[in-house]
Amino acid sequence: MDRGRFRRSAASAYPAAGSAPEAPRGRVSVAVYAEDLILQTGVVQQLRPRPEIELIPESEADRAQVSLVVVDMVNEPTVQLLQRLQRNTSTRTGLVVGFFESGALQTMIECGVAAVLRRGEADQDSLVHLVTAMANGEGVLPGDLLGKLLTHVSSLQRTVLDPRGLSLSTLTTREAEMIRLVSEGYGTAEIAQKTSYSERTVKNVLHEVATRLELRNRAHAVGYAMRHGLI
């Protein structure tokens, strides 16, 4: 991939080394990747004033908790960047996109994107919510995109199995029910209420599914389960 197409959060966008106080505990470290300087600067300027956020310079981008990719649309260079970021298992990737084609949904899931925000809705609070949700292990997806995702995935053959030979018994009844509720847009607290389990149990079950199937996040789990006929 031509890495020059994307600008990472450059060191020059932040105070010089030694001039800023140490980041308070609990801040989310974020690296911003953008197609051009205008996009990169816009997101950085939104995030920089917020005490919840620690912006990471280019030289340290690999240690960020969250990688935020800002693009006009999901094209081949974007996919290549997302795939590269996916290899860094210590960071989670969010996408701020201007135009999102329905055909890119499956690609987004396979690339491990944890959250999506349209650029037209990317004000300061929305960006901070996106970043903190990812840092807390949650996924964020606009309701209409979730609907398109479900329509797209459910249209695939439910009998298609993973090359590793997984079958419909891959998920327990409890796991399948929780994944189904995630697919319908319910959060942890709502799933706990509907299934009569504690929120901790819900989080543990979903984490176990993600770990066992090597999935990046809840959106990935929903797409995987539906694509393989598991729910």
What is the pLDDT at residue 141? 78
Where exactly are the structural domains of the chain?
3-145, 156-227
- DSSP letter assigned to residue 68: E
Nearest in space to 106 (alpha carbons), one of 207, 230, 228: 228
**Considering Cα of 149, then 1, then 121, then 124, what sign does the dihedral take?**
positive
Kind of pairing between the strands at 53-55 and 7-8 = unpaired
Q: Which residues of the chain fall below pLDDT 70? A: 1-25, 102-103, 145-170, 227-231
185 dihedral zone (left: phi>0; alpha: psi -120 to 50; beta): left
What are the DSSP E strand ranges found in the chain? Answer: 7-8, 28-34, 53-55, 66-73, 92-99, 113-118
Q: Do domains 3-145 and 156-227 have the same CATH topology?
A: no
Nearest in space to 95 (alpha carbons), one of 59, 123, 131: 131
CA distances from 191 to 154, 173, 180, 194 (A): 22, 14, 10, 5
CB-based contacts of 50, cutoff 8 Å, min separation 6: 124, 128
Any idea which residue has 């989670």 for tokens? 92
CATH T-level topology, domain 3-145: Rossmann fold (3.40.50)
Residue type, 64: A
CATH T-level topology, domain 156-227: Arc Repressor Mutant, subunit A (1.10.10)
Rounded distance between C-alpha atoms, residue 177 and residue 122, angstroms: 32
